[in-house]
Chain A
């Protein structure tokens, strides 16, 4: 039991250190959401199809471009835009804040894009990663 506890403690410490000191980068600065082909038909058939979450989380300097793609056959109100079939919309953010957009795709009529500041010290990186885990499992 002691050995297991010590091993877990060492592993946890290593994970925390890694999370705090490893720079945060992504393969792309784009956070992408797509409306798949056939979405409109499914909605007309009565299926509740949710494409966009009510809250989208971005981080300056790391993941700060919202990319929306309409792969369906009809125009769609998608977040803050009217998008034609086959069209994409790429929206960059440069200021950390919370942005409200009217969005007819959501039952609430609103979509929120939360843009966090770029974490630039170990504690901020640790908090950023912990917040990401929490949002992923919540």
Chain B
């Protein structure tokens, strides 16, 4: 009995702690970095045959994704969503660049990336390079990637976030997997304006 009585103040504190007024929510649908840091620059082999240098895209909003062409589900879904968002942006889409860096440089050549990305959107650019080179880029963004399985049919477990980089080259936001095209349109439009 005394034990039950002694729990009453605890219960009261926990219950009473759920009162107050809600604060304003953040404007973007994506997770926001504050303050935003300079997006780590990189120079890798582009799927269009030219060097792919992030800083060359200053003036555009860059949508940076990491994945690989043999990815069975997450990457195709992400790219399909980004392609849909790019179409919905219409004229504003010319101010946006989607960059897709491979987490599987052993199998993803520049040509393979080009063919893969063309199925989603002809403006998407892929990037590949040596394994240490791509690992260094992933590390600078906090992206994890790990080979799963052996032989030639291995998979790569990897982070599935999409990074939003401002026109000024700031790493502003991170969109987790699962967001719809409208969320990308919403956030990219805000970053453009």
Please measure, in the bound complex, the distance between the C-alpha atom of A30 and the C-alpha atom of B20, giving whole angstroms: 13
Interchain CB contact under 8 A, A91 and B176: yes
**Interface with B: A17-25, A41-49, A50-58, which one?**
A17-25
Chain B residues within an 8 Å CB radius of A26: 18, 20, 22
For window 81-100 of A, CB contacts with B under 8 Å fall at 81-84, 86-92, 94-95, 97, 99
Can you list 8 A-B pairs, Cβ within 8 angstroms, ordered by A? A4-B1, A25-B18, A27-B23, A28-B20, A87-B33, A89-B33, A89-B174, A90-B34
Binding site for A on B (CB under 8 A): 1, 4-5, 8, 11-12, 14-15, 18-23, 25-26, 28-35, 37, 140-142, 144, 159, 161, 174, 176, 178
**A interface secondary structure, majority:** mixed
Interchain CB contact under 8 A, A22 and B19: yes
Chain A residues within an 8 Å CB radius of B15: 15, 18-19, 129
Separation in Å of the B11 CB from the closest CB of chain A? 7
* From B4, B26, B34, B176, contact of A87 by CB (8 A): B34
Binding site for B on A (CB under 8 A): 4, 8, 11, 15, 18-19, 22, 24-30, 61-62, 64-66, 77, 80-84, 86-92, 94-95, 97, 99, 101-102, 104, 129, 132-133, 136
B140 nearest in chain A by CB position: A82
